[in-house]
Amino acid sequence: MSKLFLIHRYHYRQCCLTNRAIAKAKRILLAALLSTYPIGCETEKPRHSSNTDNENLENFLPRPKFADPIPGLLNRVLLQWLEIEDADGYEIQMSATKSFNTITKMWTVKGTNLEISIPQNGTMWLRIRAFNTDVTSAWSTVLKIKETS
């Protein structure tokens, strides 16, 4: 039996099916799916390694994960990520350095994709976080995109 099925079965049998319980179950299932979803380009390890079971905390949004970027024409790239349950939107930051000391550009979007332009022969670092009216998630793992035309 898969881990995902066990989590699903346990959660639905152990709690009332209230809206809050269903939202919590969806967050647990999404976290299980995200843990095996491939991330494209080069990613950096998080600055802190915490395996805390954050899905059980009140007012918590899991950190988003980038999917493989899709290259386009004229130094453009389509960024994609999986939707986070209970998120009202996403904040994406671009920097010329992986430390994000200086933010080159910032976007706030409601959907799960964004088309951006990368400087010719440049390397850019990107990160994303989810937010709603109550809370903001931690920043994602950093995504490095290098334009090589």
Give the best-scoring range by mean pLDDT among 19-28, 52-61, 102-111, 113-122. Answer: 102-111
Q: Which residues pair with 127 in a beta bridge?
A: 93
Number of Cβ within a 10 Å radius of residue 92: 21
70: which 2 tokens?
A: 């899709």
Query: What phi and psi, each to the nearest 5 degrees, are found at residue 11?
Result: -65, -45
- pLDDT greater at residue 35 or residue 64: 64
Name residues whose C-beta falls within 8 Å of residue 112's C-beta, 6 or more positions apart in sequence.
80, 81, 82, 83, 90
pLDDT of residue 7: 46
- Site of tokens 């080069």: 42
pLDDT of residue 73: 83
Between the alpha carbon of residue 90 and those of residues 26, 57, 125, 131, the distances in Å are 19, 20, 16, 6
> Structure pTM?
0.62
pLDDT of residue 97: 92
Q: How far apart are CA 62 and CA 78, in angstroms?
A: 22
